[in-house]
Each structure stands twice: as structure tokens, then as C-alpha cells.
Structure 1
Amino acid sequence: MVNELNFDSIRPYNDDEIHEVFERLVNEVNFLGLINFLYPNFSTKDFLNKLLSIQSIKEFQTEVIYPYVKEVLRTTTKGITHSGFENLDPKGHYLFISNHRDIVLDSAILNILMVENGFNTTEIAIGDNLLIYPWITDLVKLNKSFIVQRNLPVRQMMESTKRLSSYIRQTLTERNQSIWIAQREGRSKDGDDRTQVSLLKMLNMSGNGSFSNNFEEINIVPLSISYEYDPCDYLKAHEFLMKRDNPDFKKTQDDDLKHMGAGLRGRKGRVHFGFGSPIKKELSELEALAKNDQLQALAELIDNQIHSNYKFYPGNFIADDLFTNHQRHINKYTDEDKSTFLAYLDEHLSRIDGDKDFLFNTLLEMYANPVKNFYTCEDK
């Protein structure tokens, strides 16, 4: 097992490190600007005094992160629902592998639900591409995030991948600490949620047993995240348009910040988190397969649970009917539902310039793909 000291470059902060971090943050102009934005009803002085009085990561999450996320959810959603907690044990550890819609809120809402249902908060995997400034790195590591390093030279990437795999396994099995990680690098822009085999390959690297033992040890639970409205949908559609017109197009750091802001501030409608069942007994059935086939079969097991636990709203069914030019789901929504959804799409399309037909169809596909995947899963 890799010694914990080797994890210093990626792990979250410990309780005994937080005051040094707070001292850095209170002297960071951009952080102070963020505080004014996030907590407009607090005087900055009062907030900083409160921050400096905090003694633990748990207290930081409870006193700073939790109330802010709750306020975001109160003002930008029509409520959060969940299913599947009966499959989980508050004393256990789980690797939640989920589809990924929102950069900030997917894991933030998960931790709210964990606390409110008697569980400890999870550690959060976050790509280093989002750590645009040092103070952002400080902030996320205070919130139990660990770093997934990307875009390294080949040799360094192999070392980084081994370190990450060992960190995840040790965190789960030795510290009994649950983890959230997205099923793929980055968000699914088109709503077609698929687990990357490379993620599972990384997780398996640190195991010392058989395929089934390695994955049983880390206790994978698929998690399906459903937003009635994705506040970043128009930004994702615009990205598809930019890539269509320029295959070399890449998002900038400013684009990532724009997505974070839109995700926090934009309306989301209803939100549902569907927890699947731990994948354990099925693993032994995969032992007879070739190694690469084992990983692909496991990816499909995860995807099947994510697809089947997805919560649909009228917009999903409307989008599927319009995108495929049929009326298969017409009994699942009203004329008023259709008018509301189309008005929502028109409002978001008005925010971006370009090929409106392409953008409209891209938005439809984004909301329709989860429906397609659900029925494909049902047919298996």
C-alpha cells in the first residue's frame, strides 16, 4: 500500500491544516469577492471572523458550505428528492459513481442528502483543470475534495494514475470514507451517460486480488442524477456548435468559470438523486470473461443502474417525441407542459448566437437521451 505521505499532492486538507489555509484565504482579494457574492447578507468582517473560529473540516462543511448550498437549492430548484437510501448502511463505505451534470452542485447536493439521511459526507474527485487559481484549490480541499491530475506527460500520468487508484482504495477500505466520482472525465454534454472503461481500469490498478475481489472491496454504488432543467444546457449546446465549426475548439478557463456560475445561479426545476444497489454479487459472474471484457461488462452494469434510476420530467418525454418525430410519450405530458418546456428552450436559445436549428436539436437530444437509454436498458 502506498504511504499516505505520497498523497499530499492530491488529498484534501486535514483538520490540523485548516487555519493556515484560512489565513491565506482571508488575504486573497478574489476569495473576498466570492464571499461578497455568495453571502450578500453577511458582512465580510463577520464572515471572516466566523471562518477563523472554525476548528475542523466537519465544522467548515456544516457552518459554511451546508447553509450556502441549501440556500442555492431553495432559490433555484423546486425541491430535491431521492430514492435508494434503503440500499445503504450509514456505517459502510461506498464509491458513488454517477452521471455528471453540474460542475459544483452534483457532489454538493449529494453531501447535503448524505448528512440529512444520517451518513458522513463523501470525499469528492475533482479535475485539476478546474483549479484555475490557488485559492480555488484551497477552497475545494477544505471541502473534502481530492485532485485528479490530467494532461500530464505519459510517464507522469502513469504515476499519477497509480497514486490516485491507491488513494481511492485506501480512503474507502482503511478510513471507511465514502467517495463520489463522475463516471467519465468531464460532464456528459449530450445526456448520453456512459461509464468510461478507463475509470474502472484505474480503480483496478491498486487491487491485489482477483477482479471480483478488487471491485467488491471498493463497493461501487451507481448514482443517477436528474435535473428537470440543466442551467448550463445552452452553454453545452454552444460548445457543440463551436466544435462543429472548429474541430480544434477547446473551452477556456473563463468558460469553466462561466459554467460554474450558471450552474449555481440558474433555475433547475426539480432534482432527483437515485441511489442504486452496491455492485457485489454480479462481480463473480464476470470472472470468466477476458480482462478487457470484464471492465466493459462492469461499465454496463453501472450504466444500467444509472439509466434505470433516472427520474424523468415532462421535458424529457417532450424532447424525445420531438427529436425522434413521433408521439410515443404523448400521454406523459400535457399541452401546458409542452408549451412551458418549449418556452424554456426558446429563452435559453436567446442567450446564444449561431445556427438556431442545430442548437435547438442539440438541446432536444440532450434531454431525450436519458429516455432513450432507459428504454434501451428496459429492453435488455
Structure 2
Amino acid sequence: MDLTEFDEIRPYNDDELPQILEELIADPAFINAACAAIPNVSFEMLAYQMRGCKTKQDFQKTFCYGILWKIAADYTDGLTLDHTALPDKQKAYTYLSNHRDIILDSGFLSILLIDHGMDTVEIAIGDNLLIYPWIKKLVRVNKSFIVQRALTMRQMLESSARMSRYMHYTVSVKNQSIWMAQREGRAKDSNDLTQDSILKMLAMGGEGDILDRLMEMNIAPTAISYEYDPCDYLKAQEFQLKRDVEGYKKTTQDDLKNMQTGLFGYKGKVHFQVAPCINDVLSTLDRSLSKPELYATISTLIDKRIHANYRIYPGNYVAHDLLSGQATFSAQYTVEEKQHFETYIEKQLARIDIPNKDLPFLREKMLLMYANPLINYQITQ
């Protein structure tokens, strides 16, 4: 295998770190960002600590671990992981999860894995988010590999095949776990469904038939449950803009605002529930099924495992009842919890600043974001 084909997309190798860290230390834009992220430490001290990092994991433990736990302490009411469905801590998995936050889904998972005595994950990240050179360098120091997005159809096929080969190499040869979202981009309405295209990409690399190739990836569906989504009002706003403005597209500035709001907005409780690896079911599937049937069956299997492992919060029940106009789930929340959630929704709606603000439409979209996880969870019970 020619490993140089991955040079453009893979995380940096540890022997490349000294040079890259020096480039970051010399970059004024990185200096500004680092001083904002770690305000109580001089940049000279940060640079000294960076130079002491010999491996990517050193860097993660020295910087990312502390910053992420500080975000969890300041902006959540608790961050938890249940990993008991995967008893073998030495094995590499592909954590395939629903997607709520651009940075924190994978970031929180990594620090929780460290606290469970395991290694951090390599992270699939879209190049649309790497808007400055220092961000691209930083994510590759932080064990990210790059998903190339704005390509022609032919380039996209070649890029997907290369990424798939890289992921197979990472899990089966490096024995390194990976985190990946079940779809491209976040589900704006929290109706989390696996895109067949993700599975097709995963099946491009590896050996054997589709099932052999997917089994090589040790896919472990993972349910991420945020009690509150700080970006909920931005997602609702996007729904109205897409409805009202022909050809509406988010800007780089919008992406930055989503990242910032996601990081520093209130999230309530956050829980990661890892489901069993799907290999047990894959090994029993009928190999004579057509490709579309096979992918549809596997997507449904992953969806069910994610939906069944959601943690349902009082707000999810309240949102469902407010949408339906019924009191179906009134036993699941108190009067205070209902009041608290309604106040929260109104406060978030007030943050939306667009022309011709359609409040009934926006409110319905916001409530649906909180009701959908419960609707999907109910189906699995």
C-alpha cells in the first residue's frame, strides 16, 4: 500500500509535528485565537508547552483535553458516556453517530474516552470548515482527516475512494478508532437518519464484498443527546431563509457563528451512548441482496440503534406535547419543567433577527427539533 496517497488528507505524523507547531506559533491569526481560547496564560508559555508535545496525543492531553472539559464545566450540566456495549477497549471502532455540534460531538467523545482509559478518535472533518490555514493545520495536529467537499463528480468519486482506503487502513492496520457523522452536515430538524452514501463510501475500501468491507470497519452506532442545542435558533432561522430566499446558501461567516454558538452556548446535560458493534447483524445478512437493498437495510439498522439509545429529557416530552396540542407525556415532566422549557424556547426565538420573522413557523421548527428524537425513540420501543 502506498501511504503517500493519504498525505493530503491524513492527520500529521508525529515526526512532522515540530515543524507544524513552529508554523502555528509564528502565525498571528493562531496567536490571537490561542490567546482568546486560553486567556489566563501568556502566549510564550503556550508556545513553550506546544514545543514540549512530541505526539498528537501529547498535544491533545496538554491543550484540547483541558479546554474541552472547561467548556463542559461552563456550558453543560454534565457530560457522560456509556461505553459498556463495547467491552473490548483495545479494539478500534468506527463511532458512527448523529450530529449536533460541528466541534463538540467528536471533541467531547475523545475526552470521555480518555477518562475511560481509551485512546482519542481520529475525526472526519469537512474542508468547508477549514477556512483559515491555521485551522487546517490545527485540526490535523488534533487527529482529524479531511473530507473534501467542493469537487466535480469524478473528483468526488476518487476522493471518496481514497478516504475510504485511509479509514480502512486506520481501523485495521493502525488499530485507531474513528468518529464520523452518519450524514453530511447536521440534521437541522434532529430527525437523525443515516445516509446510504456514507455506507457506500465506507465500502469503497477494504477487501471482499460489501458486508466484509463494512465489517472490517467495526461500526458502533453512537447516540449523542444534548438536552439543549445552542444552535437551535440558528437552524430555525435557516429554515425560514431557505423557504423565503431563493437559492439561499450559508456563508463562511454563518459557519463561524454556528461554531462559536455551539461551543459557548448552554447545552444542559450531554450524554453519549455507544450501541453494540453491528458486525453480529452484518454477518447474518443475505449476501445476495441487491446493493440498494443492502445499504437500506444497514442504514435502518444503524438508525434503530441510535434512536433506541437516545437519552430523552423533559424538554423532548414537552416539545412533543406542545406540537400535538395533547398532554400525552405529561407524566414525564413537572409544571416547572414545562414552564422552564417554554421560557427557553421563547428566549431563543427572540434571538432570531431576520426580515419578515415568521414566529409560528419558527416556533414549530424549534419544537420539532426537540420532539423528533422522542418520536424516533418511541418507534424503537
TM-score by length of 1: 0.97
Q: Which residue of 2 aligns with 1:338?
A: 338
Deviations 1:121-156 (A, max 9, x none): 110000010010111000100000000011201221
Q: Give the letter for the 2:46 counterpart.
A: F
Asked if the contact 1:61/1:143 (under 8 Å) is kept, the reply is: yes
Letter in 2 for 1:370: P
* In 2: Cα distance, 1:202 partner to 1:79 partner: 35
Q: What pairs with 1:15-26 in structure 2 (closer than 5 Å)?
A: 15-26=14-25
Aligned Cα root-mean-square deviation (Å) = 1.1
The letter of the residue matching 1:67 is G
Structure 2 Cα separation of the partners of residues 368 and 218 of structure 1: 32
**Cα pair 2:85 2:275 within 8 Å, conserved:** no
Q: Does structure 1 retain, via aligned residues, the 8 Å contact 2:80–2:112? A: no
SS at match of 1:282: helix
Give, in angstroms, the shift of residue 86 of structure 1: 4.3
% identical aligned pairs: 46
Is the counterpart of residue 365 in structure 1 residue 364 in structure 2?
A: no
Q: Any unmatched runs of 5+ in structure 1?
A: none
Listed as ranges, the gaps of 5+ residues in structure 2 are none
Other-structure match for 1:229: 228
Question: Which amino acid in 1 is paired with 2:233?
Answer: Y
Q: Aligned residue for 1:245?
A: 244
Describe how 1:323-334 pairs up with structure 2 within 5 A: 323-334=323-334
Describe the SS at the equivalent of 1:208: coil
CA deviations 1:278-333 (Å, max 9, x no partner) are 00121122424221100110000000000000001110010011112221111000
**Inter-partner Cα distance in structure 2 for 1:285 and 1:7:** 32
TM-score, normalised to structure 2, is 0.97
- Is the CA contact (8 Å cut-off) linking 2:96 and 2:179 kept in structure 1? yes
Equivalences for 1:295-334 in 2 at 5 Å? 295-334=295-334
Check whether the contact 1:212–1:286 (CA below 8 A) recurs between aligned residues.
no
Task: Map 1:1-380 onto structure 2 (within 5 A).
Answer: 2-283=1-282, 284-353=284-353, 354-378=357-381
Shift of 1:40: 1.0
1:172: how far off? 0.5
Output the CA distance in 2 between the equivalents of 1:29 and 1:324.
52
Tell me, in whole angstroms, the C-alpha distance in 2 between the residues paired with 1:57 and 1:352: 39
Equivalent position SS for 2:114 = helix
Is the 1:286–1:297 contact (alpha carbons within 8 Å) kept by the matching residues of 2? no
Deviations 1:229-287 (A, max 9, x none): 00111111111111010241111111111111111110100000010000012112242
Q: Is the 8 A contact 1:77 1:269 kept in 2?
A: yes
Q: Give the Cα separation in 1 of the matches to 2:181 and 2:246.
A: 25
Structure-2 separation of matches of 1:46 and 1:92: 37
Is 307-316 or 36-45 further displaced after alignment? 36-45
Q: Is the 8 A contact 1:317 1:371 kept in 2?
A: yes
The one-letter code of the counterpart of 1:328 is T
Following TM superposition, the consecutive aligned residue runs of length 4 or more in structure 1 with deviations greater than 3 angstroms are none
1:39-67 per-residue CA deviation (whole Å, 9 max, x = no partner) reads 11111221122112221111100001100
- 1:84 and 1:277 in contact (8 A); partners too: no
